[in-house]
Amino acid sequence: MELRQRLELKRLLVPQLQQSLKILTLSTLDLKAMVEEELVNNPFLEETAPKKVVSKPPPSGRGLSSEELDYRLSLVTKKSSLQDVLLRQLGMFAATDEEIRIGQEIIGNIDDNGYLKATLEEIANRLQALPEEVEKALKLIQQFEPPGVGARTISECLLIQLELANEKDPLLMKIVGFHLEDVAKKNYTLIAKDLKEPQEKIEPLIKKILKLDPKPGRNYSSEEIQHVIPDIIINEKDEDLEITINNEDIPDLDISQTYKDMLKSVDLDPAAKEFLTQKMRNALEFLRAISKRQTTLRRIVETIVEVQQDAIRANLSHLKPLTLQDVAQKIEMHESTVSRAIMNKYVKLPYGVVALKDFFSSRIHKIPRRIVAK
């Protein structure tokens, strides 16, 4: 009996948990759409009087004031370029001002595919820097996201990706170092013969190589723009940073008193009572999930503000190292919950709108030793 009760409880809790996690991942726009759908489908939910507007967007029309135009422009954000992404990571992981200076020059010479188009000698001469300092800065950048960035050849790009993925098979390194053209032409027999290995040992390694990205920078574009509604608004108020979870476009919800009274009726048909009871339960769980979303988002953003105050007040070049795990430990939540919460979310800062994920750094790898294929 006890086991059956536990299984039944688990069966009831799983859909509730799934809904709560789904709502946590939604952007403000998607949450608004879900709320409007629930208002239609669940009679126990009703919209209450509009909430007090915190930062109401201006109405559309001609003759917009400069303040209204500024607001509209703040909701237009460019997709981060490859250079933007690399410069943020440089600001977080460079150890000295000199490393930042050299790193900026290196990043300025990385093309849209992620390759360094200037030699280390050219960069050293241009900056009047020591060649070994330039090479050190390049090694740091080659640890950044996206994997393989900062390489000078396709072979080096793929070798970097393998090392960051902790692939250490020397045979795999040799294929990447000396046989990429044969891989492209599918000359697997020739590769096996040259390396004096059976072809059945070579083919699984080639499959790994084909999964790598020879153009790690191609997923970034500085031309693409997005129109977004911020999920969080952070304003400077005196010396403090004020956090607002943006719900101004989402209807306020409550449980309908009319249907609550109907559910209490002694004359209610058993089938109708069961139907209304389920709708009541669904409405309560929906409201709880929305409330939990708000609470979780606020706790995460408060932790971000503690660490990233300089970046919030000035710009993202002042970011400090911060991982999902850091925040999860601070607020005593699972890392996956933090990951879901920041998904598809944007923050309006005093100088513009950025993605919430931009406040987090990727895990930095130990500086790898120079990879040499033999």
Q: What is the pTM of this model?
A: 0.57
Pairing between β-strand 352-355 and β-strand 225-227 as defined by DSSP bridges: unpaired
DSSP state letter for 110: B
The tens digit of pLDDT for each residue in 223-258 reads 555 567 889 999 988 888 999 998 877 888 999 999
The tens digit of pLDDT for each residue in 147-168 reads 999 999 999 999 999 999 999 8
Residues pairing with 347 in the sheet: 232, 354
Please give the pLDDT value at position 358.
Answer: 86
Sign of CA dihedral 257, 258, 262, 265: positive
Question: Does residue 79 contact residue 224 with C-beta atoms inside 8 Å?
Answer: yes
Cα angle 337, 339, 343 (rounded to 5 degrees) comes to: 115
Where does 82-210 sit in CATH, by number?
1.10.10.1330
Helix (H) or strand (E) holding 237: strand 232-237
Please give the pLDDT value at position 221.
Answer: 58
DSSP string covering 208-230: HHHTS-S-TTTT--SS-EEE---
For residues 339 and 328, give the distance between their C-alpha atoms in angstroms, rounded to a whole number. Answer: 9
Question: Does residue 112 contact residue 217 with C-beta atoms inside 8 Å?
Answer: yes
Sign of CA dihedral 230, 236, 241, 245: negative
For residues 324 and 86, give the distance between their C-alpha atoms in angstroms, rounded to a whole number. Answer: 19
Tokens 């723009």 found at: 225
Query: Which segments of the chain belong to CATH 1.10.10.1330?
Result: 82-210
Low-confidence ranges of the chain (pLDDT < 50): 7-13, 52-64, 69, 73, 363-374
All residues at 6 or more sequence positions from 103 whose CB lies less than 8 Å from its CB, including other chains: 90, 94, 137, 140, 141
User: For 68, what's the count of Cα atoms within 13 Å in the CB-facing half-sphere?
Assistant: 9
Please give the pLDDT value at position 320.
Answer: 86
User: For 151, what's the count of Cα atoms within 13 Å in the CB-facing half-sphere?
Assistant: 23
Please give the pLDDT value at position 112.
Answer: 87
